[in-house]
Amino acid sequence: MGKLLSSPKLLVIAIAAIAVFLVSVAGGALGASFGLGFLGGPIPFISVPGEQVASISGYPLLNSTIMFWVGGLALLFVAWRAGRKPKEVPSGWQNLLEVIYEFFSNTVDGVAGGTPKAGRRFLLLVSTIFLVVMIINWVGILPGVGSVGKIETIEQWVHHHAEELEAEVHEAHPGYSDEQVEALALVHLLEEHGDDTFVVFDGAIVPLGRGEQARVPLNKIVSFTKDDLHTIEEAAEHDALADGEAHEILEAIHHDVEEGVVKSSFIYNEGEDDAKTYDFTGQTAGLLIPYLRGASTDINTTLAIAIVAMFTIQIWGFRALGVRGYGGKFVVNPFTKGPIATFIGLLEGFGEITRTISFTFRLFGNMFAGEILLIAMAFLLPLIGIIPFMGLELFVGVIQAYIFAMLTLVFGVMAVASHGDHDSHSEDH
C-alpha cells in the first residue's frame, strides 16, 4: 500500500482500474437491477445458421463467409511474411511456421509408424486443417465480431421468413393462386412468431441502457387478433381476398409490416412481482444482424471442413489398399466371411458417416458456446467482462484446432491400415 501511495503512476492506474470496474458493474445487467444499466445495449440476435448481410449477383453473402475469408487472408499474410526473406537462422514469422511444421512432421511420422517420412502423405492436410481452424477461431473473437452490424427491418424479416412458408403452402395447396399462398403464409407466420421479440432502435442507433428490455413482441408492432387471422384464412381458402373484411385486414397488416414501428405499450413479466410496463410507441423495431461472425460458429463451415477431411481420408484408403482392399473393409461377403463380419463391415461404413457428423458438431458446439459466453459476459459486465474469457477462447481455439487435426491424422492412419494390420494390432493388445 505504501508503494502504491508513493507512486503517482501506480495510483492513477489503480484508480482508473477501479473506476472502470465500477462503471462496468453499474452499467451492466447487475446495475440494471438497481435502475442503472446505462451500458446495456441490446444483445444481437443469436442464430445457428449464418446471417445474410448482402447479395452479390443473386449469391447470398453470409457474415460467417466473410470471416472465413478474413481468416484465410490472415493466414496468407503470415505465410507471405514468413517466406518473403527466408534465413538460415529463422526468426519471427519464419521461425513460428517452421516450429509448427517440425511439430506436425514429427507427430504424423510418430502416429503413422515411427519411421522417418512414414506419415508424409498426411502432413499437408493435417497441418493445413490445424492452421485454418486455429486462424478462423481466433479472428472470430476480435472486437466487433458479432456485435457490429446492420438493422434488419420488420419488412425484411417477414419477407425472408414468408418465403419458406409460401413454399410449404404451395406444396400443400398446388391449385392456389399466388395471392392465396401469400395470404396463408402470412397467417402462419404471425401465428407462429407473434411472440418473437425485436430490438427497438432510435433511427439507426441502438439505444444504450436498455439491454434486453429494449425488445418488443411482434404482436405489438403488427396489430392483429386471432379472429383477424381466421378471417384471412377463410377468405383465402374460398379465394375471396379481393375485397371485403379480409382485404381490409390484410392491407392494415401489410401497412404495419412496412412501417415497422411499435404500435402500443406492453408489459414485461406480466403477472409477476417484477412486472414492468414499457412504452416504445412510434419507435422503429428490427434485429441487429452482425456484419461479421466467427466462421467456426456456423455449422456450414465446420461441416465443409469435416467433409474435406473425411473425403481425403477415403482417397488415402483407396490409394493405399486399392478399391478391393479398402472397399473390403465395408462390403464383406456373408457366405465366405460370415454374417457377423458383414455386419461389422456395415458398422465400419456407418462409422465413416458418424465421424463426419462428430467432426462437425465438436468444433461447432465448442466455438458457438464460446461466442454465446462472450455475448453473455459483455451483457453482464460491459467493458471488462469479456477480457479473461477472450484469453480462454484463444486457448480453446488452439485446442479445438489441434483435436480436429489429430483426429484427421488418426482416422487417416486407420484408413491406410490393412486388415492384417488391424488383426496384429488387436493381438498385441
- Distance between CA atoms of residues 373 and 125, nearest Å: 31
pLDDT tens, position by position, 199-249: 887 655 454 444 445 678 898 999 998 999 999 989 888 888 888 888 899
All structural domains of the chain with their residue ranges: 52-144+295-428, 149-290
In terms of pLDDT, which residue wins out, 122 or 423?
Answer: 122
The answer to whether the Cα torsion of 136, 137, 139, 140 is positive or negative is positive
- Distance between CA atoms of residues 325 and 401, nearest Å: 32
β-strand pairing of 52-56 with 59-62: antiparallel
Q: What is the pLDDT at residue 69? A: 93
In terms of pLDDT, which residue wins out, 106 or 214?
Answer: 106
pTM tops 0.85, yes or no: no
pLDDT tens, position by position, 250-276: 999 999 999 998 888 877 766 666 677
Residue 200 β-bridge partners: 285
Distances (CA, A) of 195 to 192, 198, 223, 266: 8, 10, 12, 12
- Distance between CA atoms of residues 206 and 288, nearest Å: 9
In terms of pLDDT, which residue wins out, 61 or 15?
Answer: 61
Task: Tell me the H-state helices in 141-295.
Answer: 154-172, 178-193, 226-237, 245-259
Q: What is the pLDDT at residue 429? A: 40
